[in-house]
A = this chain, B = another copy of it.
Amino acid sequence: MDVDQDRLRCDIEANAEFGAIDSETGLGRTVLTGSEADRRARERFVDRLVDAGLEVRVDAVGNIVGRWVPSGCDRNADPVALGSHLDSVPRGGIFDGPLGTYGALEAVRAVQESAATPSRPLEVVCFTEEEGGRFGVGTLGSSVVVGERDPNDALALADGDGTTLREHLERIGFNGEGSIDASTWDAWLELHIEQGERLTDAGAGVGVVESITGITNCEVEIEGEADHAGSTPMYERRDALAAASEFVLDLERAAEELATVSSAAVGTAGSGGIEPNARNIVPERVRFQLDLRDVAHERMDRLVEDCRRSLARLERTREVDTTIDRYRDTPPTPLADRGIDAIVDAARARDVDSVRLHSAAMHDTANVARVTDGGLLFAPSEDGASHSPKEWTDWEDCAAATGVLAEAARSLAAR
């Protein structure tokens, strides 16, 4: 069973044109859900599914599924599904998502072209809004297919401009009908770039994920008092930005401390804003979105507690008002032995060195693995870079990992 490296590369490079950004450090793209770049990326993906003879459907939240029913197999058997996402973070890289979606398509093409006779249909999946770059909610599409989120709630989510997912999908023509039920999948596989350096450090071609870190998102708001930056003496200020700066450093310190016992523990204040954000006004309000992760749920709780303690201290010492809203809490996800074993065996069969590890990044597999046997495999990331144009995986490595994906899918669909 052969993977066609050039065909895979052509697909990923063509996809990288949509939302391509200027960057001196590498190839980058910005593909937010509902953007013109997203429309074009989706349309090309659908075209390529159809080219491969797959039957395409789009659900209400824009998830795309291409279905292949091998000749001679039971078309009513639960399918083996594989895929990832096509959206990106702002100024992200070209592999995060596309390697998994186009890798899944290439895997199916490889099975089609081989002598294999799968007993089950194969489905290639592209999930909507994995990154949460538009609506602030990550792994959105996969949370709908596992029944965790009502499709209408997802469609009503609004972006910073007040435009809903429904409106974005209608504009780009990807407001499909009906639903996809991931619990009807016999098994699920996702190929993704590692976004870390453990594979390159170990010289391995594939990482086999045993568990995915949990992720907690909080919105923190710190409110001081707006006042004239010239005529308000230093000692009379309740400067929300100065308080927020203490908070950011407290969070960093707490996460660093936790990282001494768990290499997966991280805490980030990645986005935020100042109000009223004028040079000559003492900042009245600062908002942050936090991203806290670990492989142990109780350590994630501890990090949130550290944040609360910092805010309580700032309320006392700086007379600011604070709130923290833990609006998302996804516990760590252990993956099924069946998925893990299928990938390990496939790597051995393809003569690709593999290592077992945890995933420090969130993936759609964390949702899907709650309703069916899920497997997640990584391809090496050069220098561990991701979510930036520096993201890179050699084409040989992309093809090798896709070969393992194809073999694992074949073996899962054989029974």
Q: A245-B245, A245-B248 are in contact. Are A195 and B230 (CB under 8 A)?
A: yes
**Which residue of B has the minimal Cβ distance to A138?**
B280
Find out whether the CB atom of A228 lies under 8 angstroms from the CB atom of B386. yes
Interface residues of A in 206-263 (CB under 8 A from B): 213, 215, 217, 225-236, 239, 241-242, 244-246, 248-249, 252, 255-256, 259, 263
A183 at the interface (CB under 8 A from B): no
Find out whether the CB atom of A278 lies under 8 angstroms from the CB atom of B133. yes
Q: How large is the interface on A (under 10, 10 to 19, 20 to 34, 35 or more residues)?
A: 35 or more
Q: A90-B276, A241-B248, A245-B245 are in contact. Are A266 and B360 (CB under 8 A)?
A: no
Binary contact track A278-289/B, C-beta < 8 Å → 1, others 0? 111111100001
Interface residues of A in 363-389 (CB under 8 A from B): 384-388
Find out whether the CB atom of A230 lies under 8 angstroms from the CB atom of B280. no
Q: Which of A98-106, A108-116, A149-157, A267-275 lies on the face that meets chain B?
A: A267-275
Return A224 CB to nearest CB of chain B, in Å: 11
A70 at the interface (CB under 8 A from B): no
Checking B227, B236, B256, B293 against A230 with a beta-carbon cut-off of 8 angstroms, the contacting residue is B293
Find out whether the CB atom of A388 lies under 8 angstroms from the CB atom of B194. no
Q: Which residues of B contact A195 (CB under 8 A)?
A: 228, 230-232
A297 at the interface (CB under 8 A from B): no
Q: Which of A133, A232, A244, A265 has the most C-beta atoms of chain B within 10 angstroms of its own C-beta? A: A232
